Amino acid sequence: MKVIKRGIFSVLTILFLFTAMSALVVSGTDVKTFDATVGGIRLTPKEFIEKTGFPISEEQAQNALEFASRLMSRHKYTLEQTSGVLSVAYRESRFDVTAVNPSGGVAGFFQWSGWSNTINGDRWGMASKRELTLSVQLELMTKELETTHKKTSEKMLEAKTPFEAAKVWSYWYEGVELSDGQSALGDIEKWSETIYQALKTGQTQYFEGVNSSASSLAIPDGWSIDNPYNNKDYNHSGSYPAGQCTWYVYNRGRQLGIVFDDYMGDGGNWFHKAGYKTSQTPKKHTAVSFPTTMPGYEPYGHVAFVEEIRSDGSILISEMNMSGVPYLTMSYRVLDAQSASQLWYVEGK
């Protein structure tokens, strides 16, 4: 039987705690421009407040951005899924890691149970320390998602919209039945979209500096590659239409003895595929995924193949279905080191 967590604030409790806690400063939180090395969001807490219109402090906004980065980088959540999670966190604590609801025995960013009593269970028992700090709670969330709440992430990674993700998180992570008035679905729907638009702006800013050379049908001067494209071993389609970027990378991998799944999804979603090692560190002979929210690659993203890497961090990629390149024609591009570090690399098997 599902245990329903009764740790959600009443309206009066929220107002009381928000007023009482608004002056508190989260220990160790540095309010500055948020620029994740992974996750891809560039916003200041002040910008997040301005874009969402939420009546929160900069410390609370910083908390939200830190959780967003963790979800996107370590747990591979999309921008839509991350926005849904934050909308539930806003319902639970207004992004205040110090928030406590004594009557429910819950506390923290997601109002985990077991803080002052165990009526609703003892999820705080998994925390490394019993401290209402940002770092402890980031690790608590990660620990749960990778152990006791693996099912949450399995369900979350299927969500396509911010509101869908919010409902999944509310039910599977928070334990709140969607039919329960405590779910606040009307507000959640609005908040999830508001947060998504704010984070999307921040991700657009993050990718603005991505620079590349023009597409070339020949290997660029000064570069060389192993076992070049031969246009012969490309009759395997998987789930990908011939000539698409996904079709090319799938088959380029096969040519080199590297296996990618028949169903990796759109190019911008390849790094979300379960069972594959991913990072934002370029590696030779990996797929490189351009996220769906990257300017110029909406709404499906893009995927290419890393042919070579130089000591300065720049990379040579091969790809198909680039604008201006004839159908079924493979082309090359060079990305500088800074640009290369902003993308996702997926190792085949």
User: Quick one: what percent of the chain has pLDDT higher than 90?
Assistant: 63
3-state secondary structure of 332: strand
| Region of residue 191 (phi > 0: left; psi between -120 and 50: alpha; otherwise: beta) | alpha
Task: Tell me the C-alpha distance between 278 and 264, whole Å.
Answer: 13
Range with lowest mean pLDDT among 28-42, 259-273, 288-302: 28-42
Evaluate whether 119 touches 104 at the Cβ level (below 8 Å).
Answer: yes
| Secondary structure, 3-state, 158-218 | CCCCHHHHHHHHHHHCCCCCCCCHHHCHHHHHHHHHHHHHHHHHHHHHHHCCCCECCCECC
Q: How confident is the model at residue 1 (pLDDT cuts 50, 70, 90)?
A: very low
Weakest-pLDDT range from 223-232, 269-278, 310-319? 223-232
Instruction: Please state, in angstroms and as integers, the Cα–Cα distance from residue 109 to each residue in 66, 225, 281, 320, following that order.
Output: 11, 49, 30, 44
What pLDDT is attached to residue 234?
65
Taking residues 314-320, what's their average pLDDT?
Answer: 96
Query: What is the distance in angstroms between the CA of the first residue and the CA of the last residue of the chain?
Result: 40
> Which of 104-113, 224-233, 335-344: highest mean pLDDT?
104-113
Q: Decide which of 4 and 310 is more confident.
A: 310
Global pTM?
Answer: 0.73
Q: Where residue 220 falls among pLDDT bands split at 50, 70, 90?
A: very high
pLDDT, mean over the chain: 86
pLDDT at residue 235 in the model: 66
Residue 30 pLDDT > 60: no
Residue 22 has pLDDT above 90, yes or no: no
Is the pLDDT score of 152 beyond 90? yes
Q: Beta strand pairing status for 287-290 and 344-346?
A: antiparallel
pLDDT at 233: 61
pLDDT at 57: 98
Residue 222 has pLDDT above 60, yes or no: yes
What is the Cα 332 distance to its own chain's centre? 28
pLDDT in tens, 89-99: 999 999 999 99
Please name the residue ranges forming H helices in the chain: 11-21, 45-52, 58-73, 79-93, 134-146, 150-156, 162-172, 185-207, 245-255, 337-340
- Tens of pLDDT, residue by residue over 239-292, are 899 889 999 999 999 999 999 999 999 999 898 888 899 998 999 999 999 988
pLDDT, tens digit, for every residue of 114-133? 999 999 899 999 999 999 99
Domains, the chain, in order of start with CATH, read 11-207 (1.10.530), 245-346 (3.90.1720.10)
For residue 323, pLDDT beyond 60: yes
Task: Please give the Cα distance from 161 to 153 (Å, whole number).
Answer: 15
Say which range, 55-59, 210-214, 301-305, has the weakest mean pLDDT: 210-214
pLDDT of residue 128: 97
87 bridge partner residues: none
Residue 15 pLDDT more than 90?
no
| pLDDT tens column, 156-203 | 988 989 999 999 999 999 999 988 888 899 999 999 999 999 998 887
